[in-house]
Amino acid sequence: MQNPEIIAELRRIAEANGGQLRPSDIVKAARAASSPLHSQFEWDDSEAAEQYRIWQARQLLRVTVEYIGEGDEAVPVRVFVSLSTDRRGDGSGYRVTTAVMSDPDYRRQLLADALEEMKRFEKKYADLKELAAVIAAMRRVGGKGRRKATAA
């Protein structure tokens, strides 16, 4: 979002609330049809309810894990993953992680998606010197992963 009018309104709301920008305050300000934020929301309650249920379903898929291993060695693993190629068009879908990991093409796509996510993380937190070692390690892995993804 790069709309200066919307950015100014969000800053105004934050300033009016001690510097903190809460989603509930944004919705409250956006209710007025004259607000620059108004068009950013679905105001038809039936449609908004359906969109919220879809969001809830996505949240459910994102947090569904199975424990792999025994006892203290068991680690949580996401049951479902969303590949960027499945997010095109009018909806997004998820795949069973084990199926993605066992299919070479899906696995390459998941790796490419992970590398893109690492780039976004780096860009977002590049100014935090406390994460310099993490970002350096991500760059090393990212370089190797990109070579593997393009070579395959």
pLDDT single digits (tens) 51-109: 999 999 999 999 999 999 999 999 999 999 999 999 887 767 899 999 999 999 999 99
Q: Say if strands 75-78 and 95-96 run parallel, antiparallel, or are unpaired.
A: unpaired
- Mean pLDDT over residues 2-14, rounded? 96
Cα separation, 125 vs 18, in Å, equals 24
- Confidence bin at 152 (pLDDT 50/70/90): very low
Distance of CA 65 to the CA centre of its chain: 17
Is the predicted pLDDT of residue 145 greater than 60, yes or no? no
Say which residues have a Cβ less than 8 Å from residue 139's Cβ, sequence separation at least 6.
Answer: 122
pLDDT-derived band of residue 144, with 50, 70 and 90 as boundaries?
low
pLDDT tens digit sequence for 11-52: 999 999 999 999 999 999 999 999 999 999 999 999 999 999
